[in-house]
């Protein structure tokens, strides 16, 4: 397996402190390898976005990181812990090394500035030595990469369609050639055709530029199609992590199975969509043992009392379930 | 999608027992818990009490002449005396009522006018908006103070309430403009459109959807107008437009200036009145800050903003830099350790 880029170790993220606080992400261990697309899937409120914002320290108050490490491996030099960077180091680290495309990113563009201004603004801040012509050339190149005609440089955001704006945002995230791009449901506001187009482009870009992607979505079918590995989150923990094809073919955790059973397959025999009964757990009153056991159709003895740990298996996948672990 | 009923029954009781988060403690007097607001309210409270009882507790008659002329502060005269031997402290106490009355009366008049005119103009739009905007534009360019001087000097021995009314009627336009602009941006928001689409009446949309969003603007406008009215009244008295027989802080300054208190280095004559004005302004501004934080639920819910990390440092919560409470790597990080892929421990 290739080199790791980001290693998350025992990351704990919560909202609020003391009695009022809730733990939204619990003891998460996750490794992103170079050039890999890692999918993070789970229901609303399972901690996907909290994990992504926590590891980049972008969580707004009252969010706090209560413990853990996020080791970043730069292309050259020694690995370091993102969580112990000072404010100025963190500023430099962001966008240069890790870029993020937010939920509903297409509304992140400022309506009164031209696309060109907003694209080159990043370069002004991070690479002050660049001349104006160089900056413009870079912005043009970026637009071309994401499939927008460079003559749209002087357009205002309202003159572009939703999909184009989204692609501008992706281009903006890539403009400093970061090693890692985190995408938080970047395509939820778009129609399926546009989704496919943008994701196809993203994969193509990744092959060309060689960055790694953490892709957050609740659309598991999307992930199965184009990510290398998938991590499934439930109640703030990762319950299953495996290569995408392995999850699709044979999910080990009952929750993953439930997620996969909630959307129809395009090919193959027709089957009944099952879904998962019940609703996600309340973070303030997590069930004892495995947090999924009240909804789990296969719950048995140890599930209600003991928390299953994420266990590595020989076939390069790991599961946190008493059915599989012994 | 069909869910077997048995599984729902299995699920619901389990969830019912576990999903009972303790209700967040209801905190009344939350506004007072804000330090800024509390300080401002206490100072303002002192002023209000003095405004009521001030004229009754004066140690001397503020107009009565005495034998100690231009005396510095002493046990007999806490803030010294004037050129006629009048007690400055008594004058200050006697003058508080007029200042507070004019400030708040004018503030209320101007705020009511600006809310009615500004919000109506912004929400109703069309011809109404143009007429009301024209009206506030006219009032905006009227130089308020000279107008007040002319009006009050034509009316002989104008009473405080008349002065307050004149100040209020001439100083609403700026806030009306601000409120109109804010209303214009609010009325296109989705929640207002949704309220209209669901058939809510205009007064309810304005009262229930718009005004709560405008509270901070209205409050700051009110506080600003009160400060402006206080300063205007004091200016009027200072330049001698209003009658010099009723006491307010401006009258004290008028006499101090007329008798060249500064040249006589009689600082006790004008410093107390000046300080009283400054402290009143500070109190009102502090209340304004408090209101800002109180009416914005987002600022309110943030709660504690300073937290302690495991290493004993205090970090402030702010957007973009999530605090890290316990970072075990902090120590080992000084010498970057070669990181080996850690196997997940069971």
Q: State the DSSP code for B133.
A: H
Q: What is the mean pLDDT of chain B?
A: 77
Cα dist from B60 to B81, B163, B169, whole Å: 11, 27, 36
Alpha carbon dihedral A73, A78, A83, A85, in 10-degree steps, equals -130
- Strands B314-316 and B306-308: what pairing? antiparallel
Nearest to A63 among B7, B14, B322 (CB): B322
Are A282 and B18 an interchain contact pair (Cβ–Cβ within 8 Å)? yes
Fold annotation for B51-301: MetI-like fold (1.10.3720)
Residue A60 is classified by DSSP as P
Work out the burial of residue B164: count CB atoms within 10 Å of its CB; fewer than 13 is exposed, 13-18 middle, 19 or more buried.
buried
pLDDT value of position B243: 65
Task: Judge whether residue B338 has pLDDT over 50.
Answer: no
Nearest by CB: B305 against A61, A79, A279: A61
pLDDT over 50 at B2, yes or no: no
Q: What's the pLDDT tens digit per position in B99-157?
A: 889 899 999 999 999 999 999 999 988 899 999 999 999 988 888 788 878 877 787 66
Q: Which residues of A touch B3 (CB under 8 A)?
A: 275, 277
In chain B, residues with a C-beta closer than 8 Å to the C-beta of A309 are 344-346
pLDDT at B340 > cutoff 50? no
In this structure, are residues B302 and A20 in contact, taking their beta carbons and an 8 Å threshold? no
Give the residue carrying structure tokens 């009206």: B135
Q: Tokens in use for A15?
A: 């909202």
The DSSP bridge partners found for residue A317 are A313
CATH, range A4-97+178-274+308-319: 3.40.50.300
Nearest alpha carbon to residue B273 among B122, B28, B130, B99: B99
Crossing angle of helices B267-295 and B88-124, in 10° steps, is 30
Backbone torsions φ then ψ of A130, nearest 5 degrees = -65, 140
- What's the rounded mean pLDDT across residues B296-305? 59
B112-B115-B116-B120 Cα dihedral, nearest 10 degrees: 180
Report the percent of chain B where pLDDT is more than 70.
78
Chain center to CA of B307? 29
Mind listing the pLDDT tens digit of every residue in chain A (326 residues)? Answer: 578 999 999 999 988 777 777 888 988 999 999 889 999 998 888 888 899 999 988 888 788 888 888 999 988 888 999 888 888 888 888 888 999 988 776 678 888 999 999 999 989 988 888 899 999 999 998 898 888 899 988 999 989 988 888 889 888 998 988 999 999 888 777 778 878 888 888 888 888 888 999 999 888 888 888 889 999 999 889 999 999 888 888 888 888 888 888 777 767 777 777 778 888 888 888 888 888 888 888 888 888 888 888 888 888 888 888 888 76
Query: What pLDDT is attached to residue B234?
Result: 86
Distance CA(B17)–CA(B34), nearest Å, equals 37
Q: What are the sequence ranges of the domains in chain A?
A: 4-97+178-274+308-319, 108-177
CB-based contact B14 A62, cutoff 8 Å: no
Closest Cα of chain B to A272: distance in Å? Answer: 8
Q: Which residue of B has its CA nearest to A294?
A: B11
Assess contact for B223 and B114: CB atoms under 8 A. Answer: no
Task: Report yes or no on whether pTM surpasses 0.80.
Answer: no
- The pLDDT value given to residue B91: 82
pLDDT at residue B6 above 90? Answer: no
Pair B294, B216: CB distance under 8 Å: no
Model pLDDT for residues B209-265, shown as the tens digit of each residue: 888 888 888 988 898 899 888 888 888 888 877 765 677 888 888 878 877 777 777
pLDDT of res. B108: 94
Contacts of A78 in chain B (CB under 8 A): 336, 338
Q: Where are the domains of chain B?
A: 51-301
Name the closest residue on chain B to residue A317, using Cα atoms. B344
Beta-sheet pairing, B306-308 with A311-313: unpaired
pLDDT at B263: 78
CA distance B208 to B215: 11
Cβ pair A61:B329 closer than 8 A: no
Compare all CA atoms of chain A with the CA of B308 and give the residue at the minimum distance. A17
Cβ–Cβ < 8 Å for A71, B328: no
Which of B20, B301, B339 lies nearest to residue A285, judging by beta carbons? Answer: B20
Torsion angle, CA of B119/B124/B128/B132, rounded to 10 degrees?
10
The token pair that represents A185 in the structure block: 């449901």
Q: Residue B206 carries which DSSP code?
A: I
């Amino acid at each position: 397996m290739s080199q790791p880029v980001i290693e998350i170790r025992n990351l704990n993220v919560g909202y609020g402190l003391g009695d009022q606080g809730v733990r939204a992400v619990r003891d998460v261990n996750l490794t992103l390898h170079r050039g890999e697309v890692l999918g993070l899937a789970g229901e609303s409120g399972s901690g996907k976005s909290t994990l992504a914002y926590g590891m980049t320290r972008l969580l707004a108050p009252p969010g706090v990181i209560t413990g853990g490490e996020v080791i970043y491996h730069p292309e050259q030099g020694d690995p370091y812990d993102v969580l112990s960077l000072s404010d100025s180091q963190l500023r430099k680290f962001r966008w240069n090394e890790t870029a993020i495309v937010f939920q509903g990113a297409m509304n992140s563009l400022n309506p009164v500035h031209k696309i060109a201004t907003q694209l080159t603004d990043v370069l002004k801040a991070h690479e002050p030595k660049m001349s104006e012509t160089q900056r413009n050339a870079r912005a043009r190149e970026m637009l071309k990469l994401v499939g927008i005609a460079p003559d749209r440089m002087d357009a205002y955001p309202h003159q572009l369609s939703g999909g184009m704006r989204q692609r501008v945002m992706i281009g903006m995230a890539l403009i400093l050639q970061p090693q890692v791009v985190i995408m938080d449901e970047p395509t939820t506001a778009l129609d399926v055709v546009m989704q496919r187009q943008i994701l196809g482009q993203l994969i193509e870009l990744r092959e060309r530029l060689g960055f790694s992607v953490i892709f957050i979505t609740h659309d598991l079918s999307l992930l199965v199609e184009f990510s290398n590995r998938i991590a499934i989150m439930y109640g703030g923990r990762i319950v299953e992590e495996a290569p995408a094809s392995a999850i699709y073919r044979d999910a080990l955790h009952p929750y993953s199975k439930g997620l996969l059973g909630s959307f129809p397959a395009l090919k193959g025999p027709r089957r009944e969509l099952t879904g998962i009964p019940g609703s996600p757990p309340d973070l303030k009153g997590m069930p004892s043992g495995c947090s999924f056991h009240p909804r789990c159709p296969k719950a048995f003895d140890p599930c209600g009392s003991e928390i299953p740990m994420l266990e590595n298996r020989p076939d390069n996948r790991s599961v946190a379930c008493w059915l599989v672990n012994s | 999608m069909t869910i077997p009923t048995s599984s729902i029954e299995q699920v619901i009781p389990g969830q019912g027992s576990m999903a009972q988060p303790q209700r967040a403690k209801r905190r009344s007097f939350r506004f007072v818990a804000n330090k800024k607001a509390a300080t401002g309210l206490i100072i303002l409270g002192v002023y209000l009490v003095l405004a009521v009882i001030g004229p009754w507790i004066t140690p001397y008659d503020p107009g009565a002449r005495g034998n100690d002329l231009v005396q510095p502060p002493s046990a007999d005269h806490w803030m010294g005396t004037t050129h006629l031997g009048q007690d400055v402290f008594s004058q200050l106490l006697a003058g508080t009522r007029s200042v507070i009355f004019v400030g708040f009366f004018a503030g209320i008049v101007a705020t009511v006018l600006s809310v009615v005119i500004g919000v109506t103009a912004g929400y109703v739009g069309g011809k109404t908006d143009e007429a009301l905007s024209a009206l506030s534009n006219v009032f905006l360019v009227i130089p308020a103070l000279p107008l007040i001087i002319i009006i009050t000097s034509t009316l002989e021995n104008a009473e405080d309430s008349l002065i307050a009314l004149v100040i209020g009627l001439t100083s609403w336009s700026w806030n009306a403009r601000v409120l109109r602009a804010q209303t214009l941006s609010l009325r296109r928001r989705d929640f207002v459109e949704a309220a209209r689409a669901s058939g809510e009446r205009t007064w309810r949309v304005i009262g229930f959807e718009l005004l709560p969003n405008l509270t901070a603007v209205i409050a700051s406008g009110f506080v600003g107008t009160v400060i402006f009215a206080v300063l205007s009244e004091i200016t009027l008295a200072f330049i001698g437009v209003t009658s010099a027989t009723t006491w307010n802080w401006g009258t004290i300054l008028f006499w101090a200036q007329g008798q060249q208190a500064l040249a006589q280095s009689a600082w006790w004559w004008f410093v107390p009145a000046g300080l009283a004005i400054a402290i009143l302004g500070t109190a009102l501004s502090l209340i304004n800050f408090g209101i800002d934080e109180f009416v914005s639920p987002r600022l309110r819910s943030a709660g504690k903003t300073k937290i302690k990390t495991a290493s004993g440092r205090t970090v402030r919560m702010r957007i973009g830099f999530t605090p890290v409470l316990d970072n075990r790597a902090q120590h080992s990080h000084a010498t970057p350790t070669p990181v080996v892929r850690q196997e997940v421990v069971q």
